[in-house]
Chain A
Amino acid sequence: MQKYSIFSLIKNAFSNHEKWDLAWKDPSPKKEYDVVIIGGGGHGLATAYYLAKEHKITNVAIIEKGWIGGGNIGRNTTIIRSNFMYDDNARFNEFGMNLWRNMSQELNFNVMFSPRGIINLAHSDAQMNAYARRGNSMRLNGIDAVLLDREEIKKIIPMADFSEDVRYPIFGGLAQPSAGTARHDAVAWGYARQADSMGVDIIQNCEVTGFDVSGGKILGVRTSRGDIKTKKIGLCVAGSTNVLAEKLNITLPIETHLLQACVSEPVKPILDGVVTFGAGHFYISQSDKGEMVMGGDLDGYNSYAQKGNLPTIQHVLTGGIALFPFLSRLKMLRTWGGIMDMSMDGSPIIDKTHIDGLYLNCGWCYGGFKSVPSSGWTFAHTIAQDRVHELNEGFSLNRFSKGYLLDEKGLGTKTWIS
């Protein structure tokens, strides 16, 4: 594989950048693989990369119905954080933070990881108390957390509405200074390029039509480009998890919902990090291009449509304007939607299943992007070793029936409320 560097850039300039190698090949599926990963999104690509790198399993195929980076890895709001209260979530995501910090060097691809910090705003004394508790839990797990009061917040985001007569005055907030954003497409491309260079076949435009299961064991997968034999399948299909689970006669604690995001026209730098509104569901950051990147609530009913509905955008931006009145003057550049695998407690599932050789990676809700490296790393371990790693043992499939929920937000089973 050609290494990307200033020298290769100069060298290729002489040939008008027409002779770069393809970043990854476009192979046809072979008859048999050691492992087949279904879903060529961030999680699938990262899983294949760590299978090859950490476990030396390179006879791997990633099969993707559409194209690499066309699903939620290209549709998220690029926020990376580990500000979780529960140990399982906190340790898992803090492990991921370390992978994020080295990702550009490791993948030889600039993922533009930019740790600019995240602030969760509080709008009441009770919320400040809850954030103090969460911050303390984070610090016990070695994660940086800073509780900020109103005056400190005012220095960081002076353009927020700090007037006295607002409905939800800003009391303070909880910051994680090491959180940040990254270039989401580059993450997919970086993992794809490295996985491909180690021998992983990335097979696009290849839809799964069925599974070959016999005697409780995986024997293969049927696709639109022919049958593939394999003993191990890793399912990383986010919003399509329920559809494939139905083909396997499995019912999961997951509902598929639609989440929208939007960006405004680009403006000069005004917002440094990520800010979340504490009295409604709204989060905002500013991209390197200057667009305000915003998101919030789910559309609120089961959906597989990768496009949204206007009332939700209006509702989310009402919260946004309450926090940052200047947003009302900006034009929206575009809105888009992706389909989320909403788990019943808001935390993911990375586990084996009752079918031998079928491994499950789903339930990412809103938080799939930040977990791409940690999910790929632990899922690769789970597949290669046929047992869960201690980092993902809390994300078990049977935690629902056992009562060990990871309900970080305590919202219960109504996935559409979160």
Chain B
Amino acid sequence: MLNINCPYCGDRSQKEFAYGGDGTVKRPELNKEVSDEKWNEFVYLRKSPRGKHIELWHHIAGCRQWFKVQRDTVTHEIFKTAKMNEEIK
């Protein structure tokens, strides 16, 4: 069982959260021309690193906020959580 520290609610069990995937993927800017290659990168390509991974989680059975988590994909250790407008270095 993961314990995830929601930046709004504090430490809660994994069961309250939904996963949202890689948190480093940036959507191409709106209302601008996007090449097929850039769109392919945004929609499909993922690095999926072995080790530290910045990802999105949704506190769906809690405050319903999205936020960022930095987690190790091998040990599942969670290093940091942050609000969406905060950076994880």
Contacts and interface: CB of A to CB of B under 8 A. Distances in A.
Interface of A: 240, 242-243, 246, 251-256, 300-305, 309-311, 344, 400-401, 413-414, 416
Contacts of A255: 21-22, 46, 48
A309 B17 CA distance: 15
A415 to B, nearest CB: 8
Contact of B50 (A243, A400, A413): A243
Nearest to A241: B48
A255 B55 CA distance: 12
Interface of B: 1-2, 14-15, 19, 21-22, 36-37, 40-41, 43-50, 53, 55, 71, 73-76
A251 B55 CA distance: 17
A51 B55 CA distance: 41
17 contacts: A242-B46, A242-B48, A242-B50, A253-B45, A253-B46, A254-B48, A255-B21, A256-B50, A301-B71, A303-B76, A305-B76, A309-B2, A311-B15, A344-B43, A401-B37, A413-B43, A413-B44
A413 B21 CA distance: 10
Given A256-B73, A401-B36, A401-B37, A301 B19 contact: yes
B50 A416 contact: no
Given A256-B50, A400-B40, A401-B37, A304 B45 contact: no
A242 B1 contact: no
A116 B55 CA distance: 42
B44 to A, nearest CB: 4
Given A344-B44, A401-B37, A401-B40, A305 B49 contact: no
Between B15, B36, B55, B73, the greatest number of chain A beta carbons within 10 A of the residue's beta carbon is seen for B73
Contacts of B46: 242, 251-255
A302 B73 contact: yes
Closest CB pairs A-B (n = 7): A401-B40, A253-B44, A242-B48, A400-B44, A251-B45, A255-B48, A301-B19
